[in-house]
A and B are shown apart, each in its own frame.
Chain A
Amino acid sequence: MKAKSAPEKIGHFRREVLITGFGGQGIVLAGNILGRAASLGDHRESTLTQSYGPEARGGACSAQVIISDATIHYPYVRNPDIVVCMSQGGFDKFAPLLRQGGTLIIDQDLVQPGKIGSDQVFSVPATRFAEEMGRKMMANIVMLGFLTAVTESVTVQAALRTVEASVPKGTEQMNIKAFNKGYDFGLATLKGRRKKAAGVKGVK
């Protein structure tokens, strides 16, 4: 899978994305930015449904985004193409829903994946990166950057613009930095996988 800016096959594009984690990690905001970037930025259809209730106060919560070129008739995610897990509870509950061949993205330091069916697994130390940049709460934005790089869900331009417009005033530059950190890490990860697949390890 490549980090492409926009898919070529108009009319066939459809992504179901499920983002999950603890309440307070900004899961819903991440889903919100993703969906708005797809609709307002990339001019596609998108829907967002989110879990309310007790989970939004500390348990496993989730945001479900569908992005499509065609009208979306049913807004709930049934067979997600992409599952993003930022907590173990979220992983246990939602990872099994991932469709065959789908992409699983986990926070490296928060989720122990154990044995998992899909070979498209990416782990990213999003929370650690955010901490290193001074704000743990930006982990969702780092994750969003990574997701933008490794999946074809939204274009990077749309995602960046939406991040800028969605975060609290005064923190835009910081969040853009966080997004780019995740995005660069995503590109580097893809590059590393390409190199390894081509048999390149070290310098020679």
Chain B
Amino acid sequence: MSDLKIVLFMCNWNPHAAFQTLQDDCADLPPQVRMVRIPCTGRISKSLLLRAFEMGADGVALVGCEAGSCRYGSGTAVAERNVEDTRGILDLLGLGKQRLQWATFLPEQAEDLLNFLKNFYAEILTIGQSPVLPTSHRGSAAMTREAAMRLMTSHDVFACQDCGKCSSACPLSLAGKPFSPRAMANTIAGGDLESLSMHEDIWSCLTCGICYDRCPSAVDFPEFIRDLRKVQRAGGKTGREAHGGFFQSLMRTMTSPDLRIEHWKWLPKDIQTDSHSKVLFFGGCAPYFDTYFRHHLGIKTRDVLVDALRLLNFFDIFPALLQEERCCGHDLLWTGDEENFLKLAKLNVAAIQDLGIEEVVTACPECYRTLSKDYAELGLRFDFRVTHLFDLAEQEIDKGAIGFAPLHRNITFQDPCRLARLNCASPVDASLPRKLIQRLQPQAFVEMQDRGISSLCCGNCAWTGCDAYTKALQVKRLRQARETGSDLLVTACPKCQIHLKCAMEDLFLGSDLKMEMQDLTTILAQNIRWE
């Protein structure tokens, strides 16, 4: 068991002095503990903590200064928060939160530090090695002209007539960013593949799909971008991953088959499920989002899953749940990591097939798109069908005898791109949530200026490319929402909630933008009644 890998992130100041004393004394430090000296524990973000586990660490200790003795003031408080959140994530992943520990020492507490490290080593020794298999590293092959041309041909990008309809609709262009889908097509056709601006453009696209909708030559730009990213990633290039790449790290960690994920252990007891059911509810990553953003945005997207399950129970559907449910892989796929996406997809499909599931129901637009379209297109074979919760609810409500308590709210609706545009197959399109909203009979339902298939993106996709322009886009979207005079912004995707909420936290504009947000699933569940 001597091949345990324990990473010790140690603050330069107080504890490092104690550590040096131990080194001077030739203390018997466990050799498995590898110390990384850092300037301040507050700078070890959640993504760095998780990345250590992604790369195969069996234990991580973050050791800093006692509250009040931090040289930079807030380092200790930030580090405590980061550790708490990341421990929550490790718990959901089934890795066990005790693999990550936080401690503080003063310079004279060398003996205490030694005891801490010995105990930590002993604890990791009892838990054993981490089941996480480090994923392969990125390659370094530069994008060749041939590879780019193949993509241009396979996506028929040469059909681009340079008409500019995409640029005039692209939300990023409209937010002022020097970005244009057709200009990109031209540049790549001209053979410029390696310039900085090209790289920036490839990773800035929101893949919201409005250009594809407007394109008279039907060039599927989002999918072209997806494949370009794949080629770029193979060449060792990635975009600016938001949150330090935490979520990409999380998904890659989930590709380890031996991980005993505990996706649902937080579920309220009153939810009725049935492990023998032929219907499976696929929740999505909301529990991770809530844990990650607990101290930042205070979002509660997990409640949407609870409400979705309550709604199913209301219809007398008691679905099975996949305890070891993994991320559907959407964000890996859209950031060019098809290799790890496929690992996730295979694990999910195998687990669902093992349960003998005939129908998978999900309330997440990204899960829906990925499970219903991308899995099959990328070569996975399975027997179950995929249904969006809204489709199921509409069918059940349409049977009759179901009504809604009066909704005394003025509402408007933010279309998720994966629901309104990128599925493009009836019955799951922009009209489906609107049918349900009409059934709710709200006091008022006012559409925003850009809506339905033309709706504006929430500002980010697949946790990449977040910048001042995407923030400007979110501000524009929230202003549109406020202009409708509504007091409730209804969404149908956890990420729309997260991103728009983030814009509302703006110190200067926040009060102009603040608006209550709720998922349509929640509103349906709260108001549905037998008549």
Contact = CB atoms under 8 A, between A and B. Distances in A.
- Are A and B part of the same complex? yes
Interface string A139-180: 000000000000000000000000000000000000000000
A188 B315 CA distance: 10
A109 to B, nearest CB: 14
Q: Interface centre among A184, A191, A200, A202, by most B CB within 10 Å? A: A202
Nearest to B531: A192
Contact of B399 (A184, A201, A203): A184
Nearest to A185: B400
A191 B530 CA distance: 9
Contacts of B314: 202-203
A1 to B, nearest CB: 15
Interface string B519-531: 0000001111111
B311 interface: yes
Given A196-B530, A204-B270, A189 B405 contact: no
Interface of B is mostly: mixed
Contacts of B531: 192
A43 interface: no
Interface string B365-401: 0000000000000000000000000000000000111
Interface residues of B, number: 19
Given A203-B314, A204-B270, A189 B529 contact: no
B528 A202 contact: yes
A193 B530 CA distance: 8
A142 to B, nearest CB: 11
Contacts of B270: 204
A196 B529 CA distance: 9
B310 interface: yes
Contact of B529 (A185, A188, A191, A201): A201
B313 interface: yes
A201 B530 CA distance: 6
Interface string B308-326: 0011011010000000000
A195 interface: yes
A188 B311 contact: no
A203 B401 contact: no
Nearest to B316: A191
A204 B530 CA distance: 12
Nearest to A194: B530
Contact of A189 (B311, B313, B400, B525): B400
A92 to B, nearest CB: 26
A202 B400 contact: no
B528 A203 contact: yes
Given A184-B399, A202-B314, A203-B311, A192 B526 contact: no
B401 A188 contact: yes
A187 interface: yes
A201 B404 CA distance: 10
Contacts of A184: 399-400
B402 A202 contact: no
Contact of A185 (B310, B401, B405, B527): B401
A191 B397 CA distance: 12
A202 B522 CA distance: 12
Q: Interface centre among A124, A184, A201, A203, by most B CB within 10 Å? A: A203
Interface string B393-423: 0000001111001000000000000000000
A130 B363 CA distance: 31
Given A202-B314, A202-B405, A203-B311, A195 B530 contact: yes
B530 A200 contact: yes
A133 to B, nearest CB: 12
B402 A188 contact: yes
A188 B400 CA distance: 6
Interface string B331-371: 00000000000000000000000000000000000000000
Contacts of B405: 202
A192 B310 contact: no
Interface string B112-136: 0000000000000000000000000
Contacts of B528: 202-203
Contacts of A196: 530
B531 to A, nearest CB: 6
Interface in B90-125: none
Contacts of A193: 401, 530
B400 A204 contact: no
Interface in B505-531: 525-531
Interface string B44-59: 0000000000000000
A185 B527 CA distance: 20
A195 B402 CA distance: 11
Contacts of A187: 399
Nearest to A124: B400
A124 B401 CA distance: 10
Q: Interface centre among A124, A185, A188, by most B CB within 10 Å? A: A188
Contact of A188 (B307, B399, B526): B399
Nearest to B270: A204
Contacts of B307: 203
Q: Interface centre among B400, B405, B525, B531, by most A CB within 10 Å? A: B400
A185 B399 contact: yes
Nearest to A182: B400
A181 to B, nearest CB: 8
B388 to A, nearest CB: 19
Contacts of B530: 191-193, 195-196, 200-201
Contacts of B310: 203-204
Nearest to A200: B530
A204 B405 CA distance: 14
Contact of B401 (A192, A202, A204): A192
Contacts of B525: 203
Interface of B: 270, 307, 310-311, 313-314, 316, 399-402, 405, 525-531
Q: Closest 3 CB pairs between A and B?
A: A192-B401, A185-B400, A192-B530
Given A184-B400, A191-B401, A195-B530, 5 more contacts: A191-B316, A192-B402, A202-B314, A202-B527, A204-B310
7 contacts: A187-B399, A191-B316, A191-B530, A202-B527, A203-B313, A203-B314, A204-B270
